Amino acid sequence: MSEQASAKIMPFKADDENAEETLNAAERLLLAETARMVEALVFASADPVTERALAERLPEGADVGAALKHLQEIYAKRGVHLVRVGDAWAFRTASDLAFLMSRDTVQQRKLSRAALEVLSIIAYHQPVTRAEIEDIRGVETSKGTLDTLLESEWVRMRGRRKTPGRPVTYGTTDAFLDHFQLESIRDLPGIEELKGAGLLSSRMPSNFSIPLPPMDPDELTDDEDPLTDIDLEELGLLTPKDRDA
């Protein structure tokens, strides 16, 4: 084969290679600058920030997803990590350094065993009503227990079940995910993890199963109605004055 023929099958010319290197360098610079802006916005926010909220503050066309992934890699070995909280993002202390923070924090009131049981049922079975919680536990659930969980902001009223009496349905919040360091409700431990932690007996029946939480815990199910202002007023969450404002 002649030298001229060989030249024709070269994939790139020198100018093409230089142009590609220049383009890659420009893309890296753009990614780094976008990541800096995302870092500033997340750091300055007291609450986790959604990708949509970030995109609204950034220049048009900015690749928010790539910037977040880039920041996660940068912070992976640092004292703080960029973590996903539901559909939002926040900086959090690395889990192996959490003990440093606990020295000066105020000890929070511990939840009672009953409250922990109810919280677990809500997390795995949501959306769930008070009557359904009682059926699962086999005992009556006091209003005080639910009030405690609502005050902790780990549990919220989702809607009303489309059944006689229209009972309120309960579900978890992003604050619940944040506290227990879960990206989504589907990251809750499964049967094997619970057995390994000693929270479930290894002698559980073979047909025992743990319900899988919904993909989107914020979306109402077919048998739920949204809470209206009248519902909120009835539940003591909204005064007539607030409703008419």
What strands, in cross-sheet order, belong to the sheet with 88-93? 49-50, 88-93, 80-85
Instruction: Enter the CATH code of domain 113-244.
Output: 1.10.10.10
Q: Among the listed ranges 63-77, 109-123, 192-206, which one has the minimum average pLDDT value?
A: 192-206
How far is it between the farthest Cα atoms of the chain? 91
What span, in angstroms and rounded, lies between the C-alpha atoms of 224 and 97? Answer: 41
CA 150 to chain centre: 18
* pTM score above 0.75: no
CATH topology of domain 12-99: Arc Repressor Mutant, subunit A (1.10.10)
Minimum mean pLDDT among 3-17, 115-129, 164-178, 228-242: which range? 3-17
Distance separating alpha carbons of residues 53 and 55, to the nearest angstrom? 5
- Residue 138 tokens read as 């086999």
pLDDT surpassing 90 at residue 94: no
Instruction: Name the residue with higher pLDDT: 241 or 166.
Output: 166
Instruction: Please check the confidence at residue 50 and state whether its pLDDT lies above 90.
Output: yes
In the chain, residues under CATH classification 1.10.10.10 are: 12-99, 113-244
**146 closest CA partner among 124, 119, 172:** 119
Start-to-end CA span in the chain (Å): 86
- What's the pLDDT tens digit per position in 140-155? 988 889 999 999 999 9
